[in-house]
Amino acid sequence: MSELRIEQRIAERQDALSPQERRAAATLVDHLDDLATYRAAELADLAGVSKATMSRLFRSLGYADFDEVRAHLRALREAGEPRRLDGPPDLGAHAEAEGELVRRALAQPRLDDAVALVADAARVTVLGWRSGYPVALHLRQQLAHARGDVRLAPAPGQVLGEEIADLTAGDVAVVLGFRRRPAGFGALLAAVHDTGATVLLVADRTASMHAHHADLWLECPVETRLAFDSYAGAMSLVGVLADGVLSHLGAPARRRAAAISATYARLGEVE
């Protein structure tokens, strides 16, 4: 456990935490970038929990106290996690980091389950916000070649209420939720879950506190040693998911893809 990052420790211990400890853990994750600038009492106030609860959480995560948490974060930065990069980009390091993200993203023990859910659903709604939106757009575009009734939500400039009003049992909602999600993401995910639709969450580890609202969670890392998060792994994962749906559905999906290509040609829509 000592080698794990703090958000990984939280993810592994999530089910064993009390509601108050989960609230404290969510505050830690929300303030990872500047956690070392706080005192333990200030973090407890931010989370709305007691100092004793925050101390219990630290011990549950394998730290003796908050000083050890700070030391752990300093060690991570010293090992290559600066907030900014100086000098020109190291293209070799960039390629290595992207490749590692893709390998980790595709190491999904329940990918076959996710494929079956999406393939067999009465209707699929793909939801994404902020950095998750282009990934959602890509997934919807690919799924639409394999099966019918695939929607993207929310529509630009719209909110969620009208998008999920007709979700029901038999539907699948694929929710893309990477870190720096919009405020209230947990409530949005809970509202989708409450419709009765099956929820497939595709997210990085920082979404662990929301995972209990999902029926299936595909964990997809985005953090690298580089200046910005990378979505190479996320794009690869949703591509493999769509490939799996096409294969799962077999001949009908292949006929649909061929018909779409024929329509492109008839309308002159693509080169």
Residue 152 and residue 61 in one domain: no
Per-residue model confidence as pLDDT tens digits over 95-144: 877 787 888 888 888 889 999 999 999 999 999 988 899 999 999 999 99
Number of domains composing the chain: 2
- Which CATH number goes with the domain that contains 262? 3.40.50.10490
Residue 72 and residue 124 in one domain: no
How much is the pLDDT for 81? 45
Residue 251 and residue 169 in one domain: yes
Does residue 126 lie in a domain region? Answer: yes
Residue 241 and residue 113 in one domain: yes
Residue 240 and residue 138 in one domain: yes
174 pLDDT higher than 90: yes
Mean pLDDT of the chain: 84
Domain final residue, candidates 78, 111, 138: 78
SS3 assignment for the chain: CCCCCHHHHHHHHHHHCCHHHHHHHHHHHHCHHHHHHCCHHHHHHHHCCCHHHHHHHHHHCCCCCHHHHHHHHHHHHHCCCCCCCCCCCCHHHHHHHHHHHHHHHHCCCCHHHHHHHHHHCCEEEEEECCCHHHHHHHHHHHHHHHCCCEEEECCCCCCCHHHHCCCCCCEEEEEEECCCCCCCHHHHHHHHHHCCCEEEEEECHHHHHHHHHCCEEEECCCCCCCCCCCCHHHHHHHHHHHHHHHHHHCHHHHHHHHHHHHHHHHHCCCC
1 pLDDT higher than 50: no
Residue 33 and residue 151 in one domain: no
C-alpha 241, offset from chain centre: 14
Residue 60 and residue 169 in one domain: no
The answer to whether the beta carbons of residues 57 and 25 sit under 8 Å apart is: yes
Residue 17 and residue 119 in one domain: no
The proportion of the chain whose per-residue pLDDT surpasses 90, expressed as a percent, equals 27
Mean pLDDT value across residues 22-49: 83
- Which CATH number goes with the domain that contains 24? 1.10.10.10
How much is the pLDDT for 49? 92
- Return the bridge partners of 201, or none: 175, 217
Does residue 90 lie in a domain region? Answer: no
Residue 224 CA: distances (Å) to CA of 94, 142, 221, 228, 247: 9, 26, 9, 7, 32
Owning domain of residue 50: 6-78
Cα dihedral 72, 78, 79, 80, rounded to 10, equals 120
Residue 240 and residue 151 in one domain: yes
Mean pLDDT value across residues 194-208: 89
The answer to whether the beta carbons of residues 149 and 245 sit under 8 Å apart is: no
Residue 114 and residue 14 in one domain: no
Does residue 83 lie in a domain region? Answer: no
